[in-house]
Structure 1
């Protein structure tokens, strides 16, 4: 009798007894089973946390309106955009050059003898002293009173355990001529990019197609027009791991756009889905600012 048939013929109790004997006699088998058990327990905690946070999000969405208090609106924001609390970024704008970007908020910024942007990046600076995100910064972000948007905050979504709590997809119409992309920040500092030739302004059709597909699958998503007006963002609020996001992107999002483009624009049907992993270091975590 083949080994596979023999194992299939065993009862649950006999199979457990056999595995316990192997674990007692073989250290490698015991270590393997313990690793599997630890992984399953971690996945269970992630699922339980996801259910609890989704319940909080739904409660906040039902209760918060334009008439709600500032604190209630701040709480809603914090329940949707959960990220690292020990560090965050603020938008900067150079009035002379017109350049803008995001930098981590640091207690030592511009301090003589410590802050040297020509020598160090913020992530590698030996004197970095990140400022924790508090409600006052979120209030300013929501109020939007600075004419140059320098009160807009950036969140670092990669959490401990390689889990992120929300997903942002960027649909651009102002990318380089040969490429436009959809980029998602998610667990394990991976980035998902959907690239194609920029033969026309397809971002509106793309974002609506993905939004509809997600709705059909029961996944809530929210459309936002970008500041420039030449693109849009699609937001999702749910905890996910790297594996879950791969399945989500490959099984739901990517096929929908590929099918739509193969019908309307055959010359761009050779689109590709690229997954790259940059690592788990603190510096790589700070690269993903949303």
Structure 2
């Protein structure tokens, strides 16, 4: 019987809360205050692509025009297994056995650095998510 009494008690409480809610809604309405439930944040319309038929070469050209910097070297994002991340200059000799002495020698102290230039392929790989690059402003 205790289970039925508990259930009935909850139903009575629910009925009382709904009556209170209706009374408060009527009070708000009588004072000209809107009370309707908020349907959520307004949905922003999804814009159409500006030009869906733009070629890959044009996308790379737009990127080059918008993000100008040094063209002889670019920073490449790295992420360590411990969660640390950062950017360092892209190097053609990175991790090559016999040439790159990481992690004993820091890149900034290395005499074998071979900076990679910004090419259309590098930008394309960035745009497709293969890697993340940055720019060194002039």
- TM-score scaled to structure 1, two decimals? 0.29
Higher relative helix content: 1
User: Quick check: which one's strand share is greater?
Assistant: 1
The question of 1:125 aligning with 2:110 is answered yes
Tell me the alpha carbon deviations over residues 224-271 of structure 1, each in whole angstroms, 9 at most, x when there is no partner. xxxxxxxxxxxxxxxxxxxxxxxxxxxxxxxxxxxxxxxxxxxxxxxx
Measured in 1, the distance between the counterparts of 2:103 and 2:79 equals: 18
**Cα distance in 2, alignment partners of residues 82 and 124 from structure 1:** 27
Shift of 1:100: 1.7
> Residue 75 of structure 2 aligns with which residue?
89
Name structure 1 gaps, 5 residues minimum.
1-63, 159-290
Instruction: Work out which structure has the larger RCO, using CA pairs closer than 8 Å and 6 or more positions apart in sequence.
Output: 2
SS class of match (2:107): coil
Aligned pair 1:112/2:97, yes or no? yes
Q: Does 1:137 align with 2:117?
A: no
Secondary structure at 1:103 match in 2: strand
Three-state SS of the structure 2 residue aligned to 1:74 is helix
2-side partners of 1:90 and 1:110: how far apart? 14
Larger Rg over CA atoms: 2
Question: CA offset at residue 130 of structure 1?
Answer: 0.7
1:123 partner SS: helix
Task: Give the alignment's Cα RMSD to 1 decimal.
Answer: 1.9
1:56-67 aligned at under 5 Å gives the runs 65-67=51-53
Q: Distance in 2 between matches of 1:67 and 1:91?
A: 30
Runs of 4+ aligned residues of structure 1 deviating over 4 Å after TM superposition are none
Per the alignment, residue 75 of structure 1 pairs with 61
Q: TM-score under structure 2 normalisation?
A: 0.57
Size of the aligned set, in residue pairs, is: 89
Can you give the 5+ residue segments of structure 2 that lack an aligned partner in the other structure? 1-49
